[in-house]
Structure 1
Amino acid sequence: MIVLPRLAREPALQLLTSLPVLDLELLAAAMPDTGQSVTYTPVGGTRISESELSALREEIVTLAREHGMPSAIQNPSEFEGRAARSLRQRLDISPNEASHEEVWTYLTCCWLLDVAVWRFGSQADRRRFIGNINRNTFRRLWWRAEVLGPDIDLTQLGEDELVNIMERPTIAADLRLARGVAREFLSRVDRGAAESRMQLMREAMKRLLRLTPMVSFAALDHNELELMIEEIFNAAAAGLSGQPADPTGRHRALDASVQSWTRTSPQPSAGILRIPRVTIADVAFPPRPATYTVKDQDFDGAASKAIQIARTNGRVTNSNLREMAAITSGEARDVLQALVRDGALARRGVRRGTYYVLADAAAEESARS
């Protein structure tokens, strides 16, 4: 792996005030600026040569001229997509090296400042020239090529669409997830299935982010992940068109994952009570409240679950009985109160802190006190 020189922020800011940034021709003539005091990473690596940096500058400048430099930029998405590929191919640096601000400050201010000024203007936010993580002209391009990989056509993605992937750490940090999102989105655009592509991407990302606290996307296999992303985009497209999402297709990936886990998970030892498992889908998309009454259900079954929970956990509450027995809050209350009347359970706490314990345990507790 190669390493690049590093230019600190303060010298870079001084350099920006001394160079003729208002005149692109004069600025281009001043590039490269190899007289700055720089440092390198202390952990070693092969230092990039001046000839390699010259070749990179020549390639980026040629690309910029093809897209209008020094006049107004033409087709910025195509320019940035192609520039991102060039930067990633020419700069074979590690993600750790690419994560340092000073690396991109040096590359921008000392080798490609004229291109950065042409792209964003001389009055642009200084973060376009300093190596800011999301705003630096070239740092953001290198990371797009790194995260989305060689198979995604970056020229087909707009700035807003890329930002929706790259500036959401929970998505960009998972390469499979980020690339899967980009593939699914571009596939829909190619099929003409995205009436408003910007809105589709935004809506899909909001739905995906709502799942990230509850779904470990890294734990899904390739097919499950692709299916999950497809379902998210289906729901986003349906929402934008005012149509309800297809309830029969939701969470097929999660259901398949849970079923696979159930088939391969070890069986409990003898004497261990198995508690019904609440799936991720149940938490992320809980079922609608039941409309039936306790008289319509197996009262004995719900009562048995209440006893099992109390025996296993030491206590049972209205909430966990409701979840395990798939009954309403009122039905759970009726079951628990009936068990108290029958002497099987004893009530503890008040109001929201109410819970129930086995009557035998309550008697032992009273005897000890």
Structure 2
Amino acid sequence: MGIVPADAAEEGVWSFIALVLVPELAPWRFPTRHVDRLLGKPRNALRRLWWRAHVLGPDLTWVPPGCSPLNEDEFVQIMERPTIAKNARLAQQLKQVLWRTEMKGFKGNRAELLRDAIKLVRAERSHIAMDAMHNSVLADYLDGVVGECS
């Protein structure tokens, strides 16, 4: 979809798409037709998927061999926290750290692990410049955070 983030931030764009262009999609996914899923609000059925793809990468179904795809709770943990989702590198690294942890043999509740890790990351953002970290440094930092939480 050829839309820029500034336009994607406008509620009217998503209301038009969900109610006029493809009115069958949102009710198909959310049969209760809750107003938040139809109107252009942040939880709009199409808007949230566009933002996920914009932040986390266009192929939301790809997973490394031997790993599980992110579930809805894990996507929500990352995307509904503005301090996390506004930094695409941080959001992508959080997704990757879950998979690295799973590849190392973690068998617990991955969503709970992510929830605990995000609490620490959000607390430490006040005094750690994660936006300025090199990708490898950020990955090492997040591996340490997840290690503390597991």
Same fold (TM over 0.5): yes
Taking structure 1 as reference, are residues 154 and 129 closer, same or farther at Cα in structure 2, changes over 3 Å only? farther
**Matching of residue 185 in structure 1 with residue 94 in structure 2:** no
Q: Which among 9, 13, 16 is matched to residue 106 of structure 1? A: 16
Taking structure 1 as reference, are residues 167 and 154 closer, same or farther at Cα in structure 2, changes over 3 Å only? farther
Alignment match, 1:120: 30
- Segments of 5+ residues of structure 1 without an aligned counterpart are 1-90, 238-369
- Answer whether contact 1:109 1:129 (CA < 8 A) is retained: yes
* Larger relative contact order (Cα-Cα within 8 Å, sequence gap ≥ 6): 2
- Answer whether contact 2:26 2:33 (CA < 8 A) is retained: no
- Segments of 5+ residues of structure 2 without an aligned counterpart are 64-68
Alignment match, 1:96: 6
Structure 1 residue ranges (4+ consecutive) displaced by more than 4 angstroms after TM superposition:
none
SS, match of residue 24 in structure 2:
helix
Code of the residue aligned with 1:127 in structure 2: it is: D
Q: Which among 175, 199, 207 is matched to residue 112 of structure 2? A: 199
Taking structure 1 as reference, are residues 162 and 112 closer, same or farther at Cα in structure 2, changes over 3 Å only? same
Q: Which among 77, 85, 88 is matched to residue 175 of structure 1? A: 88
Q: Deviations over 1:315-356 (max 9, x none)?
A: xxxxxxxxxxxxxxxxxxxxxxxxxxxxxxxxxxxxxxxxxx
How far apart are 1:194 and its partner, in Å?
A: 3.9
Code of the residue aligned with 2:71 in structure 1: it is: G
**Matching of residue 160 in structure 1 with residue 70 in structure 2:** no
**Following superposition of structure 1 onto structure 2, how do residues 19-168 of structure 1 map, counting pairs within 5 Å?**
91-121=1-31, 123-133=32-42, 135-150=43-58, 153=61, 156-168=69-81
Give me the whole-angstrom Cα distance separating, in 2, the residues matched to 1:176 and 1:142. Answer: 17
Alignment match, 1:72: none
TM-score in terms of structure 2 length: 0.89
How many aligned positions are there? 145
Taking structure 1 as reference, are residues 119 and 190 closer, same or farther at Cα in structure 2, changes over 3 Å only? farther
Q: Deviations over 1:99-158 (max 9, x none)?
A: 10000101100122222112111x33201000111x100000000000012466467111
Please identify, of 190-199 and 220-229, the stretch whose mean Cα deviation from structure 2 is larger. Answer: 190-199
The two structures, once aligned, show a CA RMSD in angstroms of 1.7
Taking structure 1 as reference, are residues 161 and 220 closer, same or farther at Cα in structure 2, changes over 3 Å only? same
